[in-house]
Amino acid sequence: MPPLVRRAAPTDLEAALDVWRAANEARGRAPGAARVERVRAKLAAPDALVVVVVDGPETVAMGLAEPGRADDGAGALIAGYGHVSMVFVAPARWGQGLGGLVLDGLHAGGWERTTLWTRTGNARARRLYEKAGYRATGRASTLGEGDGIMQLERIG
């Protein structure tokens, strides 16, 4: 049976958090306790669209999108606009197409336009997003660690 993509239930949120944590640790970016708590709160936010990919009893991927806001998330809600905040796959399942399933689930949120930010050096993620119809907006920035990030956008 193929993996199942579905909207996360409240009982799925800890498993989704575990996937996020494992993927970050595998990339050498182990999160501290404060960051884990911030992500836990984002996953539980009432306006969050959280999807999980479940294979048998195991949660193998997760994603989070939220209503888009003006001023890089600090302003008013923008109708028809969603922002993809997270797409993570369990490290043992990388390269199996699960990230695309997560994006399909997030795009089912019905937004006319979605954006996301990704590290410029993350070629795997950039390929995933480009395959899903995302294109560079030309906006770029630098994270606190000095890593470059770029914004991508998908219409439709």
Could you read off the pLDDT of 102-139 as tens digits, one per residue?
999 999 988 999 999 999 988 999 999 999 999 999 99
82 domain-assigned: yes
83 part of a folded domain: yes
9 domain-assigned: yes
DSSP 81-126: EEEEEEEEE-GGGTTSSHHHHHHHHHHTT--SEEEEEEETT-HHHH
Residue 11 in any domain: the answer is: yes
- Cα 102–Cα 108–Cα 110 angle in degrees, nearest 5: 140
More confident residue, 156 or 85: 85
Give the number of domains in the chain: 1
Q: Specify if 122 maps to a domain.
A: no
Residue 99 is part of a domain; what is its CATH number? 3.40.630.30
